[in-house]
Amino acid sequence: MFKQATLEERRKYYREEWDIKQVPDFIGNFIENREFGFDHFGRGPNDRYKVFSTLDYLKRFLRSKTPFAAYCSVAYYQKPRRRDGWMKSELVFDVDAKDIPIRTCGCDDVCEICLNEAKEIVGGLIDTLKGDLGLKNMHLIYSGRGYHIRVIDDDVMGLGSDVRSQILKYIVGADVPKDKYDDAAGIYDLQHFSIPLGYPKVFTQRVKYGIFHLTEDSKLDDVNLKLLKDVIKYRNLLEDDEWGLFKNRIGPLRYKKIIKGIASLNMSLVDAKVSIDLKRILRLPSSLHSKVSMRCTEIKNIETFDPFKDAVPKFVWERED
Amino acid sequence: MIPMSFINPLSDEGKQIVRKDGGDLNRIFDENDMLIETVSSIKSQDISDDAYIPRNYVDLVIKRIEWYVEKKSDLKYNFKKFAFLFDAKITKFDVISFYILCQAVGVKFGPNSRESRAIVELQGQLIENRLEELITSERTEITEQIMNNLILQDKIKWTQLADLISSKKISMQDLVLKDGNVILDFEDYLEEFKDEVMHRQPEKMYNLLIGNRVKELIIIKMIMQNTENYIKSVHEQMSTVEPNPTLLKIAGEISEVLSKEIRYYGSGSGDGDVKASPLNVDLLPPCIKHALDGIKSGGRNEVIVLFLTPFLSYARLYPSVFRSNTSLKVSDVDADLKITKNEILPMIHDAADRCSPPLFDDQPQEKVNINAKLGFGMHSELKLQHEGETTWYTPMSCEKVKLNMPGLCKPDETCKGITNPLSYYNRNMRTK
Ligand code: SF4
Ligand SMILES: [Zn+2]
């Protein structure tokens, strides 16, 4: 694992282990409308605009070419070969363990710890996509070094980039909610943590996650080491959701700074470019992520999924070293 | 009871009024005794000057715009002069003038014009103010009615508001969402969140978080969107029918009244507004300096077309755009396009050439896209006659830069507290 697969291993993988049945139905069913892309030499997907009218053709292609990496478009096209006649696109959220802004592991690449943190984040995002946005039809993919949430509800597949970026900001908690609300009687101060519903609730959950994963090495705009240390010192108050107490300990101004800092880090929990790009290609589930020798895998049960068991191809276990 | 068309002239009720009374364009300049009488009978209306009272439909159209311009410029806004606009007695006349206004703008300027945007905004503000003038029970009732009328199903899904979200007229974060539904009714709210809100003054929280306000927001924005769509449909019919000369004439007047608004702003109130002047390259923000050096890796198109073009044109021609909150065309501030052609475009083209590979080498069509972002449609030449086919893109915010153009934003001291590179430049210009 985490070691590049050799050409020999790739062959072994596609010819002995991989099965076309592992390509999820949500891709197989519309295969003729998708664009495929391949990376044959490990230098990026430059063999693009490929189209397969049936799964069988895809199977033959992968068996014979055993590519370094395989991708398919999130978009459906009338003419996928020219990326023309855009019909709709999956709504995608890409959480790469390496790019999570607050990681407790401190590793240079990815490791078990940050992969788990990525999984935890993904769980939170999925809850919001379901509970708030009411999306039902989604697939979770382990990408090899993180996770892809691929939503295929009809209601969202036609949306443009602007709405997608707002969805993204909503689910990651990228903006500090307002704290002044008014009704006919006057203006009231309401902190995000005292509002048990809507966006403020999502934000509170994300901030809580952020605060519990801060380390003294975390870098937040406008937050100095002293403040960071105090937050770490008092964060156990949040285990019982004692937000008011926590805020008092930190001080209201400094509290503002810390939630603002976390809000802006939240923006990079998910790779925004992937979510707003209607013509992205994403790693094909079931294909091999050769760089790290792991299988890109659809996850049926996020609770029990363990990448180190469920996404490791056989050839890795057979390696000598 | 407040007539529905007083708030939503595009409702069936409103359409019926037009069908019945508004058909004859030849008579809209005729003195209308009924109108004069109605306006004069409104108590809060100032009638000390005859000029305050609209005499015919066209007058009413113009008054509407004057209200918008004067209120916005705030210089001499006098509510009493326009009180009639907020009295439901005028509904019938009001509806007809609304249609005349939209048709005139649709015929002459089309949906992407400054005029159209102003009219849509005007309509939104008018509804907002009208609702505010109502007593609470009326206000709740009419909001409810219009809501039911605009949205046929029982529950609204947020995806039905996608247009409004996309055009930033509504923010997703302002909506209370549950299972994909936008929660608006108190009953729905109680049902969905009873566990969460039980011990926390549920009614109060409902009023603060949802109340009438979100409903009003949604109906206002939907009516604005429908107004825009209507202007667009009028414009699209133009390809098959000759423009009506009366409407063209009114459109000219509308445009003139609207341009007063600009003059108010142009006069600057001495509060440190930055005047248009030749670009001072030293005072540009880091991201722009970087872009001017050319992009060596990916994302050349976005940087040159979407980022640099709007920034340079606004910084040079209309640096106070955000403060003024008024949309203009390039030709409003550079009438013969001399500055645009001689100063701005060369800078953009130079930066494009400095990219590697030079942008126009493999993507010559981007020249057209640059013109489009300046508001001149999809044409290879910058020509006045095409202006308005597209809109003059406003400069991207820092947030968008950070999101879409990795590596460009290298904030320095001045960037602190700045949300748009243009404000960076303005701040520097003021303090230089
Ligand atoms: S903070 Fe804004 S102005 Fe400053 S470099 Fe970044 S994008 Fe430019
Ligand atoms: Zn790690």
Long-range contacts (CB closer than 8 Å, 24 or more residues apart) made by A227-234: A227/A254, A227/A257, A227/A258, A230/A254, A231/A258
As given in the structure block, the two tokens for residue A256 are: 């503002």
Please write the tens of the pLDDT for every residue from A39-71: 999 998 989 999 999 999 999 999 999 999 999
Contact B294 CB / ligand 1 (< 6 Å): no
Reported confidence tier of residue B321, pLDDT bands at 50, 70, 90: confident
Beta bridge partners of A37: A71
Contact B409 CB / ligand 1 (< 6 Å): yes
Q: Report residue A144: phi and psi, to 5°.
A: 120, -30
Inspect the interface and report whether the beta carbons of A272 and B403 lie closer than 8 Å: yes
Instruction: Give me the pLDDT at residue A118, please.
Output: 95
Instruction: Give me the pLDDT at residue B270, please.
Output: 37
- Residues 131-150 of chain B whose Cβ lies under 8 A from any Cβ of chain A: 136
Contacts with B209 from chain A: Cβ below 8 Å:
181, 195, 197-198
Cα gap A178→A259, rounded to integer Å: 12
Q: Decide which of B225 and A294 is more confident.
A: A294
Reported confidence tier of residue B271, pLDDT bands at 50, 70, 90: very low
Residue B320: closest CA among B169, B425, B431: B425
Q: Is the pLDDT of residue B268 over 80?
A: no
Please tell me whether residue A183 adopts helix, strand or coil conformation: strand
Which residue puts its alpha carbon closest to atom 2 of ligand 1? Answer: B398
B293 touches chain A (CB under 8 A): no
Q: Report residue B129: phi and psi, to 5°.
A: -65, -35
Catalytic residue among A19, A39, A84, A94: A94
- Pairing of β A84-89 and β A75-79: antiparallel
Q: What is each CA distance from B413 to B289, B291, B403, in whole angstroms?
A: 15, 19, 20
Reported confidence tier of residue B265, pLDDT bands at 50, 70, 90: very low
A94 is catalytic: yes
Reported confidence tier of residue B267, pLDDT bands at 50, 70, 90: very low
Cα gap A213→A232, rounded to integer Å: 9
Cα gap A148→A132, rounded to integer Å: 19
Please write the tens of the pLDDT for every residue from B190-209: 999 988 888 878 888 898 88
**How close, in Å, is residue B431 to chain A by CA atoms?**
24
Q: How far is the CA of A167 from the centre of ligand 2 (A)?
A: 27
A267 touches chain B (CB under 8 A): yes
Question: Contact B79/B52 with Cβ under 8 angstroms?
Answer: no
Catalytic residue among A109, A179, A271, A277: A271
A72 touches chain B (CB under 8 A): no
Please write the tens of the pLDDT for every residue from B76-124: 678 889 999 999 999 999 999 999 999 999 999 888 787 888 899 899 9
Contact B289 CB / ligand 1 (< 6 Å): no
Q: Best substitution site from B287, B288, B413 to test ligand 1's pocket, by max atoms within 8 Å of Cβ?
A: B287
B181 touches chain A (CB under 8 A): yes
Rg (CA), chain A: 22
- The closest ligand to the CA of A113 turns out to be 2
Please write the tens of the pLDDT for every residue from A283-319: 999 999 999 999 999 999 999 999 999 999 999 998 8
Work out the average pLDDT over A126-131.
97
Instruction: Give me the pLDDT at residue B262, please.
Output: 52
When CB atoms are compared, the residue of A170, A188, A267 closest to B172 is A170
DSSP per position, A59-76: HHHHHHH--SEEEEESEE
Helix and strand counts by DSSP (H, E) for chain A: 13, 14
A217 touches chain B (CB under 8 A): no
Question: Contact B115/B255 with Cβ under 8 angstroms?
Answer: yes
Count the residues in chain B: 432
Distance, CA of B429 to chain centre: 28
What share of chain A has pLDDT > 90, as a percent?
81
Cα gap B11→B16, rounded to integer Å: 9
Q: How far is the CA of A118 from the centre of ligand 2 (A)?
A: 10
A197 touches chain B (CB under 8 A): yes
A230 is catalytic: no
A111 touches chain B (CB under 8 A): no
Q: What is the dihedral sign for C-alpha A180, A181, A187, A188?
A: negative
When CB atoms are compared, the residue of A166, A190, A195 closest to B165 is A166
Beta bridge partners of A180: A189
Average pLDDT of every residue of chain B? 87
Long-range contacts (CB closer than 8 Å, 24 or more residues apart) made by A100-109: A100/A268, A100/A269, A101/A265, A101/A266, A101/A268, A101/A269, A102/A210, A102/A213, A102/A214, A102/A215, A102/A218, A102/A265, A103/A213, A104/A213, A104/A215, A106/A215, A106/A217, A109/A2
Helix (H) or strand (E) holding B264: helix B245-266
- The closest ligand to the CA of A111 turns out to be 2
Work out the average pLDDT over A136-164.
95
- The closest ligand to the CA of B315 turns out to be 1
Which are the contacts of A106, defined by CB distance < 8 A and separation ≥ 6? A215, A217
Q: Is the pLDDT of residue B266 over 60?
A: no
Please tell me whether residue A49 adopts helix, strand or coil conformation: strand
Work out the average pLDDT over B404-414.
87
Q: Is the pLDDT of residue A137 over 90?
A: yes
Please write the tens of the pLDDT for every residue from B334-343: 888 889 998 8
**How close, in Å, is residue A55 to chain B by CA atoms?**
33
A179 touches chain B (CB under 8 A): no
Contact B287 CB / ligand 1 (< 6 Å): yes
What share of chain A has pLDDT > 70, as a percent?
99
Contact B18 CB / ligand 1 (< 6 Å): no
Inspect the interface and report whether the beta carbons of B209 and A195 lie closer than 8 Å: yes
Cα gap B194→B4, rounded to integer Å: 34
Q: How far is the CA of A279 from the centre of ligand 2 (A)?
A: 30
Please tell me whether residue B340 adopts helix, strand or coil conformation: helix
Strand ordering across the sheet containing A281-283: A47-50, A36-39, A69-73, A281-283
Q: What is each CA distance from B298 to A49, B235, B294, B356, B414, in whole angstroms?
A: 19, 39, 11, 9, 27
- Tell me which chain B residue has its CA closest to the CA of residue A168: B172
Contact B404 CB / ligand 1 (< 6 Å): no
Instruction: Give me the pLDDT at residue B264, please.
Output: 44
DSSP per position, B158-223: GGGGHHHHHTTSS-GGGS-EETTEEP-SHHHHHHHHHHHHTTS-HHHHHHHHTHHHHHHHHHHHHH
Reported confidence tier of residue B326, pLDDT bands at 50, 70, 90: confident
Q: What is each CA distance from B355 to B274, B277, B290, B293, B294, in whole angstroms?
A: 31, 27, 11, 8, 4
A96 is catalytic: yes
Lowest-pLDDT range, A119-128, B211-220, B263-272?
A: B263-272
**How close, in Å, is residue A13 to chain B by CA atoms?**
33
Which are the contacts of B94, defined by CB distance < 8 A and separation ≥ 6? B6, B9, B60, B85
Question: Contact B389/B378 with Cβ under 8 angstroms?
Answer: yes
Using the structure block, give the residue that is written with the tokens 């400095």: B354
Work out the average pLDDT over B117-136.
91
Question: Contact A5/A315 with Cβ under 8 angstroms?
Answer: yes
CA dihedral B157, B161, B163, B169 (to 10 degrees): -150
